[in-house]
Amino acid sequence: MRALVKNGIGIFSPQGFLDGNNNASFLSIEDIDATAKLNVDMILVSLKKVIFFNRNGLDAFVKMFIKVRAAQHITVGFCDYDSKKFTAIRKFYRSDLNFSLFASQEIAELFASSYKNQNKNVLLYNEDKSQRSAMAIELHDKGHNPIIAQTEKEFKEKSTNANAYDLIIKDSFLGQMGQSIATRVTGNAIIYTVSSFLDAEIGNTFNIAYHNNSLNVGFRLFIFDAYKVVSMNVHALNFFSKLSTSGAEYNATICFVGMTFEKTPKAFKETLEDAGIMFYNQMDDILQNKELLEELGASSAAAIANKRVLNKVMVTELPNFIDATVATIEMMTNSKASKEAVKIDEIKIPDTTDKIASSIGFYGDIDGMVILVFPKEIAKKACELLIAEKTDDLELILDTLAELVNIVGGKIKTLLSDQKLSVDITLPRTYPNVDALLEIAEKRKGVQVDLTFNNDKFLFFLTR
Amino acid sequence: MITKNIIDSYIEKIPPSPKALKETLMLLNVGELTKASKVAQTDMALSSYLKNLVNRPIYGFKNEVTEISQIFGILGVSASQQAVYNYMISLLSPSKWKLFKLNSSSFRELQAELSRRWKNILEHLEIDNKDIESAITLLPASIIVSEALFCDKIKDINLLRSVNPIDLNTVLMRLCKVDLFDICEQIAYKWEMPQQIAEIIHAASGVKPAQDETTNLLGKWMHLLLFYTLSQPMFIEAELNDFIDFQIDYVGDIYDEFSQVMEIE
């Protein structure tokens, strides 16, 4: 079974009946491992569509959970159940409950590192006092406002005013939480989460290839969420200094948020500042400050030092890239595409009105970046299949467009692997208009293919 | 990915039901078991299918049953009619399954299990109607239709489902405004199956409740039975478990009764 990964949470959704005979068929350790490799910070099994389960049915999952958590330091457990199912699980496991339970996916998201600082007002109650505090601390840590009901009576009273809260947490349980470097994108900033002691190990856990390719795709602002960092040693200091200087040629900025220097030498801060790293106390100091965010995160073509040229492999694989893109858009819009012109030059977009764009990078045996420029209408149409409704909300369209481009990226990855070329893909970046795109792509040379989908012009650009 | 034209041409290509089958069904309909078995014998594929079907463990016969007349005699009119419909549906199944990891034997197993358990359910509900008994045979047609329409699009479907958890029925509905169960209905019409069968199958999709109370109730039982059966390791491994969406709320009110009939502890 495959997991769906969203907001840093991998969710498996079995349907029907779950017992000791069939659980191994639903989920194998390989399925879980494959999901864990996608940099998720939680792996959950949704019980939403499970009408019957017994302890044997859950046991095999729990065994796998514990194994994966030990190896990958991620949060594991079940989600999406009603009170009856929650009581049953509590009864099955009693004091052995060492995994997490979240009544809904929304509640799980509150505890995921990839969904921090959304500033949600959360009402919570748990009859176990230590659970109550643990949840409140975690929520606070993740940038939400927990409101704790001390008694069930108080909880019931407060719950009646449901509008006052973004979410109400009940029937949930925090097992051992995981910790890993999680990556997420807010606006156009990439946020990495680091915790506890930062030492030479950071060189192994930090995905440098991913970081470099994010730079290449046009991300310029990298924030290290360091609220949970206890201290840093000289090896980590060197690592971050180097990371910052190597990003300088892209005009990239690295910020640390919430880092205290109680147990780390003060001189380290100065060294890091000399390397160009900025320090902020609160995530909101950056994320809520639109001007600053724009200034730091704006793509800038000012100093792309390594102007790389297309090479033979890329040109040989060009048809694969185009096929993957065309096939995906055709699939999503149920329309036919035709190719109009192909040229190797800098990107040229004749008509820039009502266009949105997205880029996705790939790296591995070959590396580069695909840029797609869509008329808003095609993007909207393609999104209908994913969200099942027509919408004019630009943010929603851009989000869904990112998913679509993710599909294109996935398809390119499969097609290239058929050619024995192994690549990984970056997160997609979206641009609400052509100007924003041109800031990073204007001077780059690449292959431009003009395509038409039912009379709508569509542009594909492959560069390095 | 899939267009209305592809669906139309698929329906177009479904062959009319063979003459011997039509005659067998007609004779079974009027209760002429002996005459029906004689006609059925003329169709070698049908007789071999029937033998294979009734000798499966779920039917629980001690000795091997080999004669068609014997088979019809043991099964009785409604179960015989159901068996013949099961055979008709299996005619549509592909020689090699690509989307689902099934083969002709596991598909027959699915048919046999659904049929057998449906009989138990109808006995529990005290419904004695051979058309309703036969309705279950059309349910696996939804699996065959999915296979036929999506088998060349496996990679696309997997990519799509890696970003959005949608089932095949919803994909089809959003792309072509037609769902798997509409196509099953078309098959039922083409093969002149009774109208009620198509109606129950529609309700069994779980997304289109029927107006008629009895039909809707039968749809609920069938929807739950489908997922009970698809929760078996064999069918989970065949990747059938999530081909359509399980509507847990739709069947909530009959679950306790269902678990008694199926003896779920």
Least confident window among A115-119, A345-349, A422-426: A115-119
Structure tokens at A192: 């990495």
Question: Based on the domain organization, do A213 and A86 belong to the same domain?
Answer: no
Rounded Cα distance between A377 and A354, Å, is 8
Rounded Cα distance between A264 and A244, Å, is 19
Cβ proximity of A108 and A79 under 8 Å: yes
* In-domain check, residue A136: yes
Q: Is a pLDDT exceeding 90 seen at residue A119?
A: no
Distance from CA of A289 to the nearest CA of B (A): 31
Q: Hey, CA dihedral for B181, B185, B187, B193, is it positive or negative? A: positive
Residue type for A98, please? N
Least confident window among A161-175, A380-394, B78-92, B210-224: A380-394
Strands (E), A27-105: 42-46, 50-53, 75-79, 100-102
Q: Which residues span the domain enclosing A207?
A: 183-297
Cβ proximity of A109 and A75 under 8 Å: no
* In-domain check, residue B32: no
Least confident window among A168-177, B66-75, B92-101: A168-177
* In-domain check, residue B48: no
Question: Based on the domain organization, do A270 and A323 belong to the same domain?
Answer: no
Best of A23, A46, A51, A105 to substitute, by most chain B Cβ atoms within 10 angstroms, is: A51
Cβ proximity of A114 and A8 under 8 Å: yes
Strand order in the sheet with A4-6: A4-6, A9-12, A42-46, A75-79, A100-102
Question: What global pTM score does this model have?
Answer: 0.71
| Burial classification of residue A113, based on how many CB atoms lie within 10 Å of its CB (0-12 exposed, 13-18 middle, 19 or more buried) | buried
* In-domain check, residue A177: no
Pick the more confident residue, A319 or A302: A319
Answer whether B164 sits within 8 Å of A403, measured CB to CB.
Answer: yes
Number of CB atoms found within 10 A of residue B63's CB: 6
Pick the more confident residue, A294 or B37: B37
pLDDT, position A179: 44
Q: Is a pLDDT exceeding 50 seen at residue A301?
A: no
Q: Hey, CA dihedral for B99, B102, B108, B111, is it positive or negative? A: negative
From A368, A264, A241, select the one nearest A309 (Cα to Cα). Answer: A368
Q: Using pLDDT thresholds of 50, 70 and 90, give the confidence band for residue B110.
A: very high
Give how far the C-alpha of residue B56 lies from the chain's centroid of Cα atoms, to the nearest Å. 17
From A170, A214, A172, select the one nearest A191 (Cα to Cα). Answer: A214
Question: Based on the domain organization, do A286 and A392 belong to the same domain?
Answer: no
Best of B149, B150, B159 to substitute, by most chain A Cβ atoms within 10 angstroms, is: B159
Q: Is a pLDDT exceeding 80 seen at residue A288?
A: no
Question: Based on the domain organization, do A364 and A422 belong to the same domain?
Answer: yes
Q: Using pLDDT thresholds of 50, 70 and 90, give the confidence band for residue B15.
A: confident
Domain count, chain A: 3
CA dihedral A38, A39, A42, A44 (to 10 degrees): 0
Rounded Cα distance between A351 and A340, Å, is 16
End-to-end CA distance of chain B: 44
Answer whether B174 sits within 8 Å of A48, measured CB to CB.
Answer: no
Please provide residue A43's backbone torsions phi and psi, each rounded to the nearest 5 degrees.
Answer: -125, 120
CATH of the domain at A260: 3.30.750.24
pLDDT, position A302: 42
Q: What mean pLDDT comes out for the span A250-278?
A: 89
pLDDT, position B26: 92
pLDDT per residue as tens digits for the range A412-442? 887 787 778 888 877 778 888 888 888 777 7
Q: Is a pLDDT exceeding 80 seen at residue A95?
A: no
Q: Is a pLDDT exceeding 50 seen at residue A180?
A: no
Q: Is a pLDDT exceeding 50 seen at residue A80?
A: yes
Question: Based on the domain organization, do A160 and A17 belong to the same domain?
Answer: yes
* In-domain check, residue A211: yes
Answer whether B231 sits within 8 Å of A403, measured CB to CB.
Answer: no
CA-nearest residue of chain B to A18?
B231
Q: SS3 of B97, please? A: coil
Q: What is the DSSP letter of B138?
A: G
Q: Is a pLDDT exceeding 70 seen at residue A187?
A: no
Answer whether A4 sits within 8 Å of B162, measured CB to CB.
Answer: yes
Answer whether A16 sits within 8 Å of B246, measured CB to CB.
Answer: yes
Picking from A169, A191, A224, the residue at the C-terminal end of a domain is A169
Answer whether A26 sits within 8 Å of B241, measured CB to CB.
Answer: yes
Q: Using pLDDT thresholds of 50, 70 and 90, give the confidence band for residue A177.
A: low
From B219, B220, B204, select the one nearest B252 (Cα to Cα). Answer: B220
Q: Is a pLDDT exceeding 90 seen at residue A82?
A: yes
Contacts of A2 in chain B (CB under 8 A): 158, 161-162
Residues 6+ apart with CB under 8 A from B179: B169, B172, B173, B205, B207
Answer whether A407 sits within 8 Å of B255, measured CB to CB.
Answer: no
Answer whether A406 sits within 8 Å of B163, measured CB to CB.
Answer: yes
Strand A429-431 vs strand A355-364: parallel, antiparallel, or unpaired? antiparallel
Rounded Cα distance between A48 and B246, Å, is 10
Q: What is the DSSP letter of A115?
A: G
Q: Is a pLDDT exceeding 90 seen at residue A239?
A: yes
Q: What's chain B's average pLDDT?
A: 90
pLDDT per residue as tens digits for the range B143-181? 999 999 999 888 888 888 877 888 999 888 888 888 899
Q: What mean pLDDT comes out for the span B23-43?
A: 92
Please provide residue B124's backbone torsions phi and psi, each rounded to the nearest 5 degrees.
Answer: -65, -40
* In-domain check, residue A380: yes
* In-domain check, residue B192: yes
Q: Is a pLDDT exceeding 50 seen at residue A247?
A: yes
Question: Based on the domain organization, do A152 and A16 belong to the same domain?
Answer: yes
Cβ proximity of A19 and A54 under 8 Å: yes
Q: Which residues span the domain enclosing B105?
A: 4-16+95-261
Question: Based on the domain organization, do A332 and A277 belong to the same domain?
Answer: no
pLDDT, position A188: 67
Nearest to B233 among A22, A52, A411 (CB): A22
* In-domain check, residue B68: no
Query: H or E element: which one contains A430?
Result: strand A429-431
Q: What mean pLDDT comes out for the span B6-11?
A: 88
CA-nearest residue of chain A to B166?
A386
Question: Based on the domain organization, do A129 and A265 belong to the same domain?
Answer: no
Tell me how far CA of residue B94 lies from CA of A54, B6, B151, in angstroms: 36, 17, 10
| Burial classification of residue A283, based on how many CB atoms lie within 10 Å of its CB (0-12 exposed, 13-18 middle, 19 or more buried) | buried
Q: Using pLDDT thresholds of 50, 70 and 90, give the confidence band for residue A151.
A: confident
Q: What's chain A's average pLDDT?
A: 83
Domain count, chain B: 1
| Ramachandran quadrant class, A262 (left: phi over 0; alpha: psi -120 to 50; beta: rest) | alpha
Question: Based on the domain organization, do A355 and A391 belong to the same domain?
Answer: yes
Q: Is a pLDDT exceeding 80 seen at residue A53?
A: yes
pLDDT per residue as tens digits for the range A351-378? 888 888 888 888 878 888 888 888 888 7
Q: Is a pLDDT exceeding 80 seen at residue A297?
A: no
Answer whether B230 sits within 8 Å of A15, measured CB to CB.
Answer: yes
* In-domain check, residue B237: yes
Chain pair A-B, CB pairs under 8 angstroms = 94
Cβ proximity of B144 and B89 under 8 Å: yes
Question: Based on the domain organization, do A430 and A346 belong to the same domain?
Answer: yes
Contacts of B3 in chain A (CB under 8 A): 334
Q: Is a pLDDT exceeding 80 seen at residue B19?
A: yes
Rounded Cα distance between A255 and A272, Å, is 10
Residue type for A233, please? N
Q: Where are the alpha helices (DSSP H) in A98-250?
A: 105-110, 129-141, 152-159, 202-205, 208-217, 234-248
Q: Is a pLDDT exceeding 60 seen at residue A300?
A: no
Best of B162, B229, B264 to substitute, by most chain A Cβ atoms within 10 angstroms, is: B162
Structure tokens at B160: 């799509």
Structure tokens at A142: 């993740």
Picking from A117, A140, A169, the residue at the C-terminal end of a domain is A169
Contacts of B160 in chain A (CB under 8 A): 331, 385, 407
* In-domain check, residue B162: yes
Q: Using pLDDT thresholds of 50, 70 and 90, give the confidence band for residue A182.
A: low
Q: Where are the alpha helices (DSSP H) in B103-262?
A: 104-124, 130-135, 141-150, 154-163, 168-176, 180-190, 195-204, 213-230, 233-237, 248-251, 255-261
Nearest to B174 among A26, A49, A388 (CB): A388
From A47, A48, A35, select the one nearest A74 (Cα to Cα). Answer: A35
Nearest to B156 among A16, A25, A331 (CB): A331
* In-domain check, residue B242: yes
* In-domain check, residue B53: no
Q: Tell me which residues of chain B, numbers 233 to 262, contact chain A at a CB-CB cutoff of 8 Å.
A: 233, 236-237, 241-242, 245-246, 248, 251, 255, 259
Cβ proximity of B138 and B204 under 8 Å: no
Picking from A243, A265, A297, the residue at the C-terminal end of a domain is A297
Answer whether B3 sits within 8 Å of A4, measured CB to CB.
Answer: no
- Give the percent of chain B with pLDDT over 90: 51
Q: Which residue has the tokens 């997997």?
A: B158
Residue type for A289, please? N
From A14, A94, A112, select the one nearest A57 (Cα to Cα). Answer: A14
From A358, A391, A351, select the one nearest A373 (Cα to Cα). Answer: A358
CATH of the domain at A333: 3.40.1550.10
Q: Is a pLDDT exceeding 80 seen at residue A66?
A: yes
Report chain A residues touching chain B, CB-CB < 8 A.
1-2, 4-5, 13-18, 21-22, 24-26, 48-52, 54, 327-328, 330-331, 334, 384-386, 388, 403, 406-407, 410-411, 414
Nearest to B255 among A51, A330, A388 (CB): A51
pLDDT, position A178: 47
Pick the more confident residue, A29 or A71: A29
pLDDT, position A421: 81
Answer whether A22 sits within 8 Å of B230, measured CB to CB.
Answer: no
Q: Hey, CA dihedral for A426, A431, A437, A440, is it positive or negative? A: negative
Q: SS3 of A45, please? A: strand
Q: What mean pLDDT comes out for the span A268-293?
A: 86
Question: Based on the domain organization, do A289 and A322 belong to the same domain?
Answer: no
Cβ proximity of A258 and A193 under 8 Å: no
* In-domain check, residue A321: yes
- Give the percent of chain A with pLDDT over 90: 18
Question: Based on the domain organization, do A154 and A20 belong to the same domain?
Answer: yes
Best of B117, B150, B231 to substitute, by most chain A Cβ atoms within 10 angstroms, is: B231
Least confident window among A4-13, A92-101, A232-241, A328-337: A328-337
pLDDT, position A454: 77
ipTM of predicted assembly, 2 dp: 0.84
Q: What is the DSSP letter of A255?
A: E
Contacts of B264 in chain A (CB under 8 A): 17, 52
Complete DSSP assignment for A345-396: EE---S--TTEEEEEEEEEESS-EEEEEEEEHHHHHHHHHHHHSS----HHH
Rounded Cα distance between A444 and A464, Å, is 8
